[in-house]
Structure 1
Amino acid sequence: MQQPQQVDEDETQPADEPEEMPTPPQIEAVQKKAQAQKRKPGPSHKVEGEKRKKKRAKVGASEGYRTYVYKVMKQVHPDMGISSKAMTILNNLMGDMFERIANEAAILAKYVGRATLASVDIQDAVKLVLPGELGKHAIAEGTKAVANYVSSVGKSKSKA
C-alpha cells in the first residue's frame, strides 16, 4: 500500500519544507526595534550646541488691520481708546475697501491687456471706488506714503 502524500494547502511553500511562523515574542522584538530606529536619529543628524528652531505660530487672518488702526489712532489722539465693536467695524471697512480697490484695479489691468498692476491702475481704481474729493485726497496721501517709504528704504540701504 502506498502512503498518501502530504498535501500542503499553502502553495507558496514546497511540501517538504515546514513553514516557519514567527512566535509572538519575535514579532514584538521586531516591532520594538523598528520603533526605536524611528525615534532616535543617527549621530550624523545632530550637531553639538545646535538647537532645533522653534516654528512660529501662524498669525490668524482675523488680525487684519486692527494693529495699524490702533497705532494711527494713538498718533492722532493719544488719549483716546476704542471699543472692540468699533475696531471690528473699522477692520471690516478696511478689508472691504482693499478688496474693492484691488478688484477694480484688476479689471482695469485686464481691460488694458496687462498682467501686472501698475501704480496708475491703483490710482484709477481709487478714483472709481472713492467719489470726488475723497478719491483725490486718498491718492495724494497714498503717493506721499509711498514716497516716504521709498526714501526710508533708500536710507536704510545706504547705512548697511
Structure 2
Amino acid sequence: MPAKVKKSRKGPLPTGPPKLKTTAKSATKKKPRSKKRKESFKIFIFRVMKQVHPELTVSTRAMGIINSFVIDIFERLASEASKLAKLGRRATMSSRDIQTAVRLILPGELSKHAVSEGTKAVAKYTSGI
C-alpha cells in the first residue's frame, strides 16, 4: 500500500480570523435611527394653564404658537442680558442683567409685573437652598 502524500499549500498562510460570508439580508439590516429630540416648553405651558384655568383646553396649533412665542421672548431676553454683561466687562450674567433686559424689552406695565414675579421666584429659590 502506498504511503499517503501530504499536499502542501501554495501561497501565503491566512492571518486573522476567518471571514464570514454575508447575505444580502444581513447586510441591509441596520439599527433604526432614534428621533432627534426637540426641546420645547409645551409641558410647562400646559401645567401653568391648568393651574390658572383647569377647565380649559388648548389645541396643538395654539400650543405650538405659544411655544414659539416663549422661545422668541427667551432668546431676546438672553441676548439683551448677554450684551449688558459684555458692556459691564463681566463673564457671568447676573439676575440684575436679566432684570434690566426685561425692563428694556417688555413694554410698560408688563415689565413691572414680570420684574416683580421674577424677584419673587428668585427669593423663593434662594430660601429653598
Question: What residue is the counterpart of 1:91 in the other structure?
Answer: 67
RMSD value, Cα: 2.6
Unaligned 5+ segments in structure 1 are 1-18, 33-56, 155-160
Could you say which structure has the larger radius of gyration?
A: 1
Taking a change above 3 Å as real, the CA distance of residues 61 and 79 of structure 1, as seen in their structure-2 partners, is same
Question: What residue is the counterpart of 1:70 in the other structure?
Answer: 46
Is 1:135 the counterpart of 2:111 in the alignment? yes
Deviation, 1:145, is 1.3
Q: Which runs of 4+ in 1 moved over 3 A?
A: none
Tell me, in whole angstroms, the C-alpha distance in 2 between the residues paired with 1:30 and 1:135. Answer: 71
Paired positions, count: 108
Deviation, 1:151, is 2.5
Structure scoring higher RCO (CA < 8 A, sep ≥ 6) equals 2
2:18 to 19, 31, 35: 31
Deviation, 1:31, is 2.9
Tell me, in whole angstroms, the C-alpha distance in 1 between the residues paired with 2:45 and 2:87. Answer: 34
SS of corresponding position for 1:116: coil
Deviation, 1:21, is 1.4
Unaligned 5+ segments in structure 2 are 1-9, 20-33
Deviation, 1:20, is 4.7
Deviation, 1:149, is 2.2
Instruction: Give the alignment's TM-score, normalised by structure 2.
Output: 0.73
Instruction: Give the alignment's TM-score, normalised by structure 1.
Output: 0.60
